[in-house]
């Protein structure tokens, strides 16, 4: 039984015909870094792997650079260890949501700041003022987004997609639905 150690989540891979990266190429890139037990999941840039490195920020930077060096794709990468992803699953504030396509997690490379959390709270209030049933909760470096009427019709998702005020540093994040989150957890434990 393989116990993979990390998951890498690429932002904006193979979306709308942009940032095209074959998963076979991604596996080759990750294997080329010396990582083992490499498996990709669906075409949106999810890879699980084993390595001895424990610094997820360093792994994120290493993967970003390797992808840029070996392809024409520039992408942000968020890497989580198996315990970190297990915590994301365990901390789900919306266990009553039974449709995994109505629950999403926005994974941030860094801890979500208090100012960003306050922005999320304000967006939830604006969306509810427009009659939305959507909700969002920040826990650590994850933003859980519940959209019971679907992500495509989500008033809150539209509110949250507004560009933030200019900041000194780029925020690296990427979103996955709950079905993908739980499948990636299963692949880590497979």
pLDDT at 166 over 90: no
Cβ neighbour number for residue 184 with a 10 Å cutoff: 26
22 domain residue, yes or no: yes
What does the radius of gyration of the chain's CA atoms come to, in whole angstroms? 17
The structure tokens listed for 60 are: 């994120």
pLDDT at 32 over 90: yes
Count: domains in the chain: 2
Instruction: Examine the domain organization and report whether 71 and 106 are in the same domain.
Output: no
Instruction: Examine the domain organization and report whether 29 and 53 are in the same domain.
Output: yes
Instruction: Examine the domain organization and report whether 98 and 80 are in the same domain.
Output: no
Instruction: Examine the domain organization and report whether 121 and 156 are in the same domain.
Output: yes
Burial class (CB in 10 A: 0-12, 13-18, 19+), 174: buried
pLDDT per residue as tens digits for the range 36-91: 999 999 988 899 999 999 999 999 999 999 999 998 888 999 999 999 999 999 99
Residue showing tokens 């901390």: 91
Helix, strand or coil, per DSSP, at residue 124 = helix
Q: What percent of the chain has pLDDT over 90?
A: 78
Instruction: Examine the domain organization and report whether 95 and 173 are in the same domain.
Output: yes
Helix, strand or coil, per DSSP, at residue 172 = coil
20 domain residue, yes or no: yes
| Range(s) of the domain holding residue 44 | 6-86
Please check whether residue 153 is in contact with residue 85, taking contact to mean a CB–CB distance below 8 angstroms. no
What's the CATH number where 101 sits?
3.30.70
Instruction: Examine the domain organization and report whether 77 and 37 are in the same domain.
Output: yes
Instruction: Examine the domain organization and report whether 52 and 75 are in the same domain.
Output: yes
What's the CATH number where 48 sits?
3.30.70.1280
């Amino acid at each position: 039984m393989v116990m993979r150690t990390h998951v890498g989540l690429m932002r904006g891979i193979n979306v709308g015909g942009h940032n095209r990266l074959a998963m076979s190429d991604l596996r080759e890139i990750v294997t080329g870094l010396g990582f083992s037990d490499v498996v990709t999941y669906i075409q949106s840039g999810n890879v699980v792997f084993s390595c001895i490195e424990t610094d997820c920020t360093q792994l994120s930077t290493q993967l970003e650079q390797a992808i840029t060096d070996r392809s024409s794709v520039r992408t942000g990468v968020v890497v989580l260890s198996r315990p970190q992803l297990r915590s994301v699953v365990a901390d789900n504030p919306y266990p009553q949501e039974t449709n995994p396509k109505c629950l999403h997690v926005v994974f941030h490379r860094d801890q979500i700041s208090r100012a960003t959390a306050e922005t999320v709270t304000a967006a939830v209030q604006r969306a509810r003022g427009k009659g939305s049933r959507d909700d969002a909760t920040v826990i650590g470096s994850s933003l859980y987004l519940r959209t019971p009427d679907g992500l495509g019709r989500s008033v809150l998702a539209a509110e949250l997609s507004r560009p933030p005020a200019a900041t000194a540093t780029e925020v690296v994040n990427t979103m996955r639905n709950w079905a993908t989150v739980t499948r990636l957890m299963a692949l880590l434990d497979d």
